[in-house]
Structure 1
């Protein structure tokens, strides 16, 4: 099978911080010098109309078999917890997952599909972040010409073009995905960081107000702050308010305490929402991934299993009751004292890299509950 999730940590400390909301860690000018491409954006040729017919264009999809990273099932430390399994007649559903940034180079604004290093790391992300959805009938995770990390450190026309290029690949992959699945199958959208950004665009441009909107059993847009006032209305779906609610959006950004989210909050407040207005001090969507509720609080005892790395970084296992979670008044998810997760914790006790692994087992249960609710709705 593909290499273990823990390669995320080994030598890739800043990799998953891609996104305009995780900036100002070392100083914006220094970051720009290190990561923003020096040359101008070169317009990318649109992928062939049938590009996503090729299995090579997918990290995960039906037919890959044992080497599919999204199908990984980690071991559990200690007692097993009460979580629905695939043999308990869970409702069928399909997942479209978009991985976060795995390309740091400043040699180009977008990663080439044939770039071996970024492709390998993208598979690692799919293993660690798409695997909580492994009870799905089908999981589809496309390769795409992602925007480089430096594209999120500037608001130049070049960066906008790079992000748009990445989005168009994702949109093309999604269109093929929809054509390939059953017409009545519930859809779960899931993505992290840059992946969550592209799913926001997909909801706004391709799904909201269409027949597809009703088929979205849940959308997990994790690691990218969503403004309640300036983003959410354009996405067509409400924020998830209760556990088991269907047709809704779940999102969170994780910090241990004491948390210093000043870099995120500053950049968030100065950015423009999907309505074109400054996000300012508007509230951020915060779903508690342990309880499944909006702005909720849950003790560590309710955490069914965090995906925690071994000390030698060769594997990981699910550890029950590892961290609590509570949404604060800013819309950030606080997880108590810093848990030991490895070397990829970011300044300010930012656990962005671990947004999904910290709540792996609860997320597995959460999606089953939301899809179950979806199947019971009258149509």
Structure 2
């Protein structure tokens, strides 16, 4: 090695870049850049970490700016001369993409749904709202727990469920969905979809349309019309079976913007009472790695360009990873409390299902979804 020749000194820059870009793992590129100062400087100066990240995750191709907002880093504009400012900016970009690659590989895999936002239709609101899809149980107390679409005479009418994810940047690997089986109806029908498809992206809303109050129908329409998709999956067939069905993406996908739409395509089950087709879902899981709170993104709607923000270079500790969605259960408590008040006032009638064993065997009564 003492008598070795650095190929950077004898090859033209394009050939050197091709050699470095033969790596398929950014960790290998990071290790190589630690071999010598000249190799490190070359990797930084040519933005090779970003190039490899974009090759692995094409959704990052629209990132045109990187900003570090951590307390331990300096703004490149404060460094000095134009050359030093440019070099500091390149080093900042190198640090950001290196840590981004680390997070995409090592941050904990978890359930990524932070909030259920809106369903394209709901049969009985709020009893059968999208909120119920975060609860893995088929029953909540004495009631069935599921989301139900409105009935349709045309079985081809699709439905969508829109969710806010736990972070602006999420690497999604698989989605699990359980159709609902109406155990209170004759024949125990399962209201699955024929197929599912997944769209990832962000929501473009006016400043006066907050995401924390989306139950109003006008705002729901705004969310549906304002969803901007950056990735659309293939269609996956759904079985008409009462189980948590796994839909694994061919390759993990980086969702930029923090929203996912589950598209439920086609209907297979007609309700006997009204002869309409419904889609009903018990539970939805979106699994992957969130890069929050380390990263966030700003999206320029005019140019469609992205600004990647580094908020921390620390990997989230287990204490920062939520195990339950407290806001969802809080909304369910408020919703159930509101139902109790309405019942006491005589404003709402909700069937009182008795799930005792004797009734399960002898109850012939059907309830409308």
Q: TM-score range by the shorter chain?
A: under 0.3
More strand by share: 2
Taking structure 2 as the reference length, the TM-score comes to 0.21
Give me the TM-score of the superposition, normalised by structure 1.
Answer: 0.21
